[in-house]
A = this chain, B = another copy of it.
Amino acid sequence: MHVLQIRIAYADTDQMGMVYYGNYLTFFERGRTEFLRDSGIEYREIEERGFYFPVIHAECDYYYPAKYDDLITIETSLTGLTAASITCSYKVKLGDKLLAAGKTKHPFVNKTMKPVRFPQDIKEMFEKYLEKDN
């Protein structure tokens, strides 16, 4: 599990005085990128090798709103792995309080957006970081 801190900006809020619901998907992306970096592979590097991780599914449950200036944490973990896709899970917290939780699923594709199997090094890395019981 990787933990990232994010400070909520005015730009993130809407007139209900809380973070706009679509912005949590940006928080998930930031968490996912830092999870990959911590796992030993930068997403930037994956693209340089000619691969992409587009999104085919995203979902989020919202429990309590994040508000302006809150210093929230994004907990990202790898909770699903097939030969050519990953599923990441996210918890957005303020201190111990769970604000939101979600998932995203990503096929592994080449430059023509065709699904491809993971290269061995990437596969091994994911196997190492996969959380079995989440």
Which residue numbers of A lie inside 8 Å of B, CB to CB? 7, 9-11, 13-18, 20-26, 29-30, 33-34, 42-44, 52, 54-63, 65, 68-69, 104
Contact = CB atoms under 8 A, between A and B. Distances in A.
Nearest to A25: B22
16 contacts: A7-B30, A10-B15, A10-B20, A11-B26, A11-B30, A13-B14, A15-B68, A16-B54, A21-B104, A22-B29, A25-B25, A54-B62, A56-B63, A57-B60, A57-B62, A58-B62
Interface SS, A side: mixed
Contacts of A68: 15, 44
Nearest to A17: B15
Nearest to A69: B44
Contacts of A10: 14-16, 20, 29, 33
